[in-house]
Structure 1
Amino acid sequence: MAERGLYKFGGLLLIAILVISAVAYATSGGRPAAEATPAALDDARTGAAPLAQTERDETAAPAEAVCAPDGAPRPLDAEIHESSGVAVSRAHAGIFWTHNDSGDPLLYAVDAQGRTAGRVRVAGASVEDWEDVALAPCPASGDCLYVADIGDNDAERASITVYRIPEPAPGASQSAPATAIRLRYPDGAHDAEALFVLNGAIHVVTKGESGPVVLYRAPADAGAEATLQRVRALSADKVDRQERITAADASPDGRWIVLRTLHEAAFYPAAALAESGPLSPRRVDLHGLDEKQGEGIGFGPDGSVYLTSEGGKKNARATFARLSCTLP
């Protein structure tokens, strides 16, 4: 009797061990418990939830920015046939400023659907090659628009010009007289299409067509003429057409700088961009918007980012698009 009881107990013990092993195997996703990672063991001991791998591995590339389009791009009116920049108004909700890169010195106010809400002539300005526009504080008070006449396809201009005007009302026919700030590069002429204004300084980013992509800056209150200071190179050498910089902007809180190419937006922490260390921007692929020639980019409130394209001349209208983006 004692011997049969012993065998019965041993059989029950074996069954219990097999059941426990099967449960452990199933809950580990088919991985033996011995393969659990040290991080998982640490979390099991402390009761903490596992962290994402990108958060644990300090050498991993930073997470990409997450951006979702707000519908399809809207066509701009036919007279805005070469939209090269966009700036988001803070004083006039739902108004966005854009311009052509040639023709008359006009700023166009458009609404969220891309419809023209006003045309403002910039008093005292002319157009050689307008390539970007930014909204930022004026040196004294209020917000100003900074219009970047900085394009130079042949890299031969002796100086470039940034026009500064107090932001007009969308219904105005003409702006206040523009302040023309003539800027010279310290190392010869460059072609550029991107400008942003941050912390009281105008920043110009060269295109990268004939040499490296380089960031330059000058005080926004520099007066009639100033020499740009070279801040840093953003590429080792000239870049392919798809990587050339066509626009830039600073976020309203000053934490982020976005640079765009024809089909990509790259978000840089502003503090890192001003330093000399390595950069790891968060990148967003814009191919899904099917822009014919992506040119403009501007930050809005609440993580929104606005984009314009020049279009395909007679074959396709210039467009206006909105992205809802999440940044750390």
Structure 2
Amino acid sequence: MGRRGNGTRRLRVAAGTVVVLAATMAPGAAVADPSPAPVPGTPVCEVRGGRLSEISGMAATDRGFVMVNDGADDEARRRIFFLDDRCAVVRTVSYPSRPRDTEDLAVGADGTVWVADIGDNDRSRQTIAVWKLPPGADRPVLYRMAYPDGPHDAEALLVTGDDRPVVVTKYSANLYAPSAALRPGTTAPLVKVGQVRLPASTTSNPFGALGRTAVTGGATAPDGRRVVLRTYADAYEFDVADGDVVAALTGGTPRVVALPDEPQGESVTYDRDGRSLLTVSETAGRPPGTMPRILRYPLPAAVSSPAPTATPGPTTPAAGAGAARSGGGPYLVVAGALGLALIAVGLVALARARRARSR
């Protein structure tokens, strides 16, 4: 979610968000397979010790888990944390310089840990970055990247089988990938390679309509044949053919796993056997003594699905085009309802920010 310099946390409602949400849920978006009624996740373990209260990225490993906080003000929390299978911290790795806003984490096929330093609540960063920690290394290496069209806020990272990072922006679900090799000391240009169109959702979550569309994390299955993106409300799993992650996200039909009422769910990973999803929420601002809990959700079986009505490709039709095809009626109703929901979300976020400042 990101963090301001004064420590005040917020769910940022950016200018143009209403348009983004309407486009995301417009007629023609991918239709997900039916999913069962939302069921809370099964607790796996609690993360103790107090240093991991703002978990923004998590990956499962053969020995346990790797986690990062987002842009923590406390230096002791700015680490890459390695945990055992009971959620006890067994090792930490420091950064050689201060990261800006670490928002996701992935582990590549060779065991390299990728930390996505891509958060930008205020949309003011000239570059974003990934930190790579090879197996056995004691310091991660920084690799900078730059968007072609100005700053974006992002909280999700996927790493393809050929070690290409794919950044997913938070509110528009645009996909960006480097057009040149990542090299220390240089800035690799990013190119837009597509956009994800998530299905509509009604899953209960603390942030209402906005929480159902804000992309807060991503992960790749151990076999590389599936990827998942999550919001504050749901997880969307896509099948990957021939290693083409972008084609899967832009043209595939996802299976939905509801993640109901997680306090502030920003992390997702596959279990090591690939049969379930694991999630964890931030607990900053929760009652004293509240510990982050890893939750397990079973995955629905893969079934053959009809092709999505959206045209696969690196770009998506404008929201207005979808409205014209449908006659405009349902689209206007959805857009109006979303506008009212966003007003409510904004008021709640403002109230939370004021309470945070008063503490």
- What TM bracket, shorter-length normalisation? 0.5 to 0.7
**Paired residue for 2:231, among 261, 264, 276?**
261
Cα distance in 2 for partners of 1:317, 1:264 equals: 22
Map of 2:102 onto structure 1: 130
What is the letter of the counterpart of residue 165 of structure 2? I
Return the TM-score normalized by structure 2.
Answer: 0.62
Map of 1:304 onto structure 2: 276
Q: Is 2:133 the partner of 1:165? A: yes
Return the TM-score normalized by structure 1.
Answer: 0.68
Cα distance in 1 for partners of 2:125, 2:173 equals: 18
What is the letter of the counterpart of residue 223 of structure 1? R
What is the letter of the counterpart of residue 229 of structure 1? V
**Paired residue for 1:324, among 290, 298, 301?**
298
Q: Is 2:41 the partner of 1:81? A: no
Map of 1:114 onto structure 2: 87
Q: Relative contact order (C-alpha < 8 Å, sep 6+): which is higher?
A: 2
**Residues 82, 310 of structure 1: 8 Å contact kept:** yes
Cα distance in 2 for partners of 1:255, 1:319 equals: 27
What is the letter of the counterpart of residue 143 of structure 1? G
Cα distance in 2 for partners of 1:308, 1:220 equals: 33
Map of 2:189 onto structure 1: 227
Q: C-alpha displacement at 1:215, in angstroms? A: 1.0
Cα distance in 2 for partners of 1:136, 1:151 equals: 21
Cα distance in 2 for partners of 1:321, 1:157 equals: 33
**Residues 310, 319 of structure 1: 8 Å contact kept:** no
SS of aligned partner of 2:112: strand
What is the letter of the counterpart of residue 319 of structure 1? R
Map of 2:264 onto structure 1: 293
Map of 1:144 onto structure 2: 112
SS of aligned partner of 2:82: strand
Which residues in structure 2 correspond to 1:88-107 (within 5 Å)? 88-89=60-61, 93-101=62-70, 102=72, 103-104=74-75, 105-107=78-80
Q: 1:253 to 1:64 in 2, by over 3 A?
A: farther
RMSD over aligned Cα atoms: 2.8
Deviation beyond 6 Å, 4+ runs, structure 1: 65-70
Q: Is 2:179 the partner of 1:216? A: no
For structure 1, the 5+ residue unaligned runs are: 1-58, 169-174
**Paired residue for 1:240, among 207, 210, 215?**
210
Q: 1:281 to 1:163 in 2, by over 3 A?
A: same
SS of aligned partner of 1:228: strand
Q: 1:318 to 1:218 in 2, by over 3 A?
A: same
Cα distance in 2 for partners of 1:197, 1:66 equals: 31
Q: C-alpha displacement at 1:73, in angstroms? A: 5.4
**Residues 66, 284 of structure 1: 8 Å contact kept:** no
Map of 1:196 onto structure 2: 158
For structure 2, the 5+ residue unaligned runs are: 1-29, 199-208, 303-359
Cα distance in 2 for partners of 1:220, 1:110 equals: 34
The structure with the greater share of residues assigned to strand is 1
**Paired residue for 1:207, among 170, 173, 182?**
170
Q: Name the stretch that deviates more: 156-165 or 269-278.
A: 269-278
Q: C-alpha displacement at 1:69, in angstroms? A: 7.0
Q: 1:291 to 1:63 in 2, by over 3 A?
A: closer
Q: C-alpha displacement at 1:121, in angstroms? A: 2.0
Cα distance in 2 for partners of 1:268, 1:62 equals: 11
